[in-house]
Amino acid sequence: MSNFLLDLSFGVKRSDGYVSDIWRASTTRLGDFHLATSSIAGTEEYRFNKSGMCRSAHSGADAAPEALRDRAGFRWRRAATPPRGSGGAARVAWIAFPTDYLSRPTVADDGEIFWIAAAPEGGATYVEFAYAAEPEENIRGVLDIMQDRTLVRCAALPNGETLVIFCYHADWDNKDLRVPGGSIADDVLFSADDPLASGRPLRHRFGPAPKDEEAVMLLEMGGAAITN
C-alpha cells in the first residue's frame, strides 16, 4: 500500500518543449500535504500539516554553500477550510508560470510527469491548491461551470476534506528582470527574449513570505547568468 493518498509529479510545458521545473504534490495518509520542487540549487518544500500549521524549507544541493543547506524557512497558519455547504474552499498555494520564461528541458522525461499545457505566448499558467469540505463531485461541478479552469487532481483527506489542484491560463506582463549577484555570483537575467539564446537554464521562484491565513504565492521564471 502506498504511503501517499496523492503523489503527483507535474510541470508546465510549451508546445516547443520548453518546460517549468518539475513539482511534486503529495499527501500523506495522515493528511499532511507537501509541495516541493528540485533544481540545481536544491529542493524547496512547502508543508501544510493537518493541524493547519505550515512551514517552508530549503535543502541545498551538494554543491551549494553550507549556508544554503537545510534552511528552515517560514512558519504560518493556513486559512481554515470553510464548512461543508458554505460553498467555499480555502486556497493555500498558487504558482504562476509565465509562458515566455519557460526553459529548455535539461532532465529526461520518465513518462511519470503530468504535463500541464502552457498558456499562449504572453500569458501565464496558474496552478492552484485549495482545501474544500465538499466532496469531489461537487468540486467537479463547480469547475465544469468555470470553464476556464481545469481540474488537475483531487485527493480525499482523512478528515473528510478534499485537496483540490486546478489550473488555468491568464494574462501576464512580460518584463525583463535582472537579479544582481553581488560580489559572489553573476547577475541573473530573466528575459522573455532570451538574448543569450541560453534556454534559460536557471529556474528561480519568487514570492513573499506568507502570513497567517495567506496563501503561498510563487512566481517561477527561468533565467540565465550574465557576466557582470
Partner 1 sequence: MPALHSSRACPVTVGVRRIIHVDMDAFYASVEQRDDPALRGRPVAVGGQPGSRGVVAASSYEARAFGVRSAMPMARAVRLCPDLLIVRPDFARYRAASQRILEIFRSCTPLVEPLSLDEAYLDVSENLWNEPLATAVAKRLKRRIRDEIGLTASAGVAPNKFLAKIASGWQKPDGLTVISPGRVEAFLQQLPVDALWGVGPVTAGKLRKIGIERLVQVRSADPARLQRAVGSLAEALRRLAYGDDPRPVVPDRPYKSSSNENTYDEDLLATDAIRAEIERMARQSAAWLTRKALLARTVTIKVRYADFTTVTRSHTTATPTRNADEIAARALTLLERTEAGRRPIRLLGAGVHGLAGNETAIGIPGVLNFEE
Residue 96 interacts with partner 1 (CB under 8 A): yes or no? yes
Which of 108, 137, 171, 182 lies at the binding interface for partner 1 (CB under 8 A)? 171
Contact 56, 37 (CB under 8 A): no
Which of 8, 57, 79, 113 lies at the binding interface for partner 1 (CB under 8 A)? 79
Which of 13, 14, 169, 203 lies at the binding interface for partner 1 (CB under 8 A)? 169
Closer by beta carbon to partner 1, 110 or else 173: 173
Beta-bridged to residue 57, according to DSSP, are 45, 72
Site for partner 1 in 126-165 (CB under 8 A): 126, 130, 132, 134, 138-139, 141-142, 145-149, 164
The alpha carbon dihedral of 215, 212, 9, 141 has a sign of negative
Which of 16, 111, 211, 227 lies at the binding interface for partner 1 (CB under 8 A)? 211
Closer by beta carbon to partner 1, 23 or else 166: 166
Which residue reads 493555500 in cell numbers? 92
Which of 23, 94, 101, 190 lies at the binding interface for partner 1 (CB under 8 A)? 94
d(CA 191, CA 117): 21
**Nearest distance in Å: CB 24, partner 1:** 21
Which of 25, 89, 189, 221 lies at the binding interface for partner 1 (CB under 8 A)? 89
d(CA 215, CA 94): 7
Residue 53 interacts with partner 1 (CB under 8 A): yes or no? no
> 34: closest CA among 70, 64, 71, 6?
6
Closer by beta carbon to partner 1, 4 or else 74: 74
Which residue reads 496558474 in cell numbers? 126
Element (DSSP H or E) covering residue 13: strand 4-13
DSSP letters, 117-156, are EPPPTTEEEEEEEEEESS-HHHHHHHHHHSTTEEEEEEEE
- Percentages helix, strand, coil for the chain (3-state, rounded to 5) are 5, 50, 45
Residue 44 interacts with partner 1 (CB under 8 A): yes or no? no
**Contacts to partner 1 by CB under 8 A:** 78-79, 82, 86-92, 94, 96, 119-120, 122-124, 126, 130, 132, 134, 138-139, 141-142, 145-149, 164, 166, 168-173, 211, 213-215, 217, 219
